[in-house]
Amino acid sequence: MAWFKKPPEGPKKVKIPEGMWVKCEACREIIYRKEIERNLKVCPKCNYHFRLSAQERLALLVEPQSFQETDQELQPADPLGFKDSMSYRERLRQNAQRSGLKEAVLSGLARIGEFAVCISVMDFSFMGGSMGSVVGERLVRSAERALSEDLPLITVSSSGGARMQEGMFSLMQMARVSAAIGRFKAEGRRPFISIVADPTFGGVTASFAMLGDVIIAEPRSLIGFAGPRVIEQTIKQQLPEDFQRAEFLLQHGLLDMVVHRRELKATVAKLLRLLS
């Protein structure tokens, strides 16, 4: 009887493994993840530079096996006993679990080409790369180590600014790090090269990120203090096209170079040869 007949089978659905495809945040194209990774996490369609973790950034910039982390004993505390939707300690724990880091910056010694350097790399995946007291202390120690050991200083910024959960303990890091950079530049003989990646905002932009002897940005990076929406609401004016993008800042004299990711290591090595 027709009651017991199976309905004809339609086309079989193919299950696509999760995470195989990535949508570009700039051109909105869907791209095969392995193609993005082979291209140093740069969109092959529009040249958008995806964010890198601190470990990925170090693998891109320094010689293999040359990075030696320093100051890893410094751990974030909770000086204010801060709590919003969860406690600050729990937020730190979750971010450490997700990012594999203990803080938003990795500092250490490494080699770029034939040059030994002090390098600090921020990671946006840990609390938006925000600058708390431990981040500031690691950056200060990196600058002091570069000065005492007569080494070039390299920083890579990718940050949303100061960390609100630490209040003034966070904000004072702007002055502390700027003062350490000032001593390095006044007393040292080596260059300070600042690399700004997408995004770099707030207290990081207002302090060490824009103090480099040479300031380099990746293409289309967003760099500023307050966000464009906040500025438009404040001044009640339409902002220029590409406002706060790296190319806009280069045109207006706030950057020295905009360099594609694949050329970044060679560019830094060349600058070290010229300036050292």
pLDDT of the chain along its 276 residues, tens only? Answer: 555 566 666 555 545 566 789 888 888 899 999 998 899 999 988 888 999 999 999 999 999 999 999 999 999 999 999 999 999 999 999 999 999 999 999 999 999 999 999 999 999 999 999 999 999 999 999 999 999 999 999 999 999 889 999 999 999 999 999 999 999 999 999 999 999 999 999 999 999 999 999 999 999 999 999 888 889 999 999 999 889 999 999 999 999 999 999 999 999 999 999 997
Q: Does residue 153 contact residue 112 with C-beta atoms inside 8 Å?
A: no
Do 42 and 140 share a structural domain?
Answer: no
Do 37 and 157 share a structural domain?
Answer: no
Do 252 and 118 share a structural domain?
Answer: yes
d(CA 125, CA 116) in angstroms, rounded, equals 27
d(CA 104, CA 114) in angstroms, rounded, equals 28
Is residue 130 in some structural domain? yes
Strands 192-200 and 153-159: parallel
Is residue 6 in some structural domain? no
At residue 268, the pLDDT reads 98
d(CA 199, CA 201) in angstroms, rounded, equals 6
Q: Nearest to residue 158, comparing CAs of 112, 99, 100, 105?
A: 105
Cα 38 versus chain centre, distance: 20
At residue 207, the pLDDT reads 95
CATH of the domain at 234: 3.90.226.10
Coil, helix or strand at residue 55: helix
Do 82 and 46 share a structural domain?
Answer: no
Domains in the chain: how many in total? 2
At residue 138, the pLDDT reads 98
Query: Any bridge partners for residue 31, and if so which?
Result: 22
At residue 16, the pLDDT reads 53
Task: Locate 178 and state its tokens.
Answer: 């700027």
Is residue 27 in some structural domain? yes
Query: Any bridge partners for residue 115, and if so which?
Result: 112
Do 84 and 32 share a structural domain?
Answer: no
- Expressed as residue numbers, the domain containing 42 is 17-50
Is residue 80 in some structural domain? yes
Q: Does residue 156 contact residue 192 with C-beta atoms inside 8 Å?
A: no
Do 38 and 99 share a structural domain?
Answer: no
Do 186 and 271 share a structural domain?
Answer: yes
Do 116 and 21 share a structural domain?
Answer: no
Is residue 8 in some structural domain? no
Task: Locate 216 and state its tokens.
Answer: 């380099």
- The H or E element spanning position 107 is strand 105-112
Do 62 and 30 share a structural domain?
Answer: no
Do 62 and 46 share a structural domain?
Answer: no
Is residue 234 in some structural domain? yes
Do 164 and 33 share a structural domain?
Answer: no
**Considering the entire predicted model, what is its pTM?**
0.90
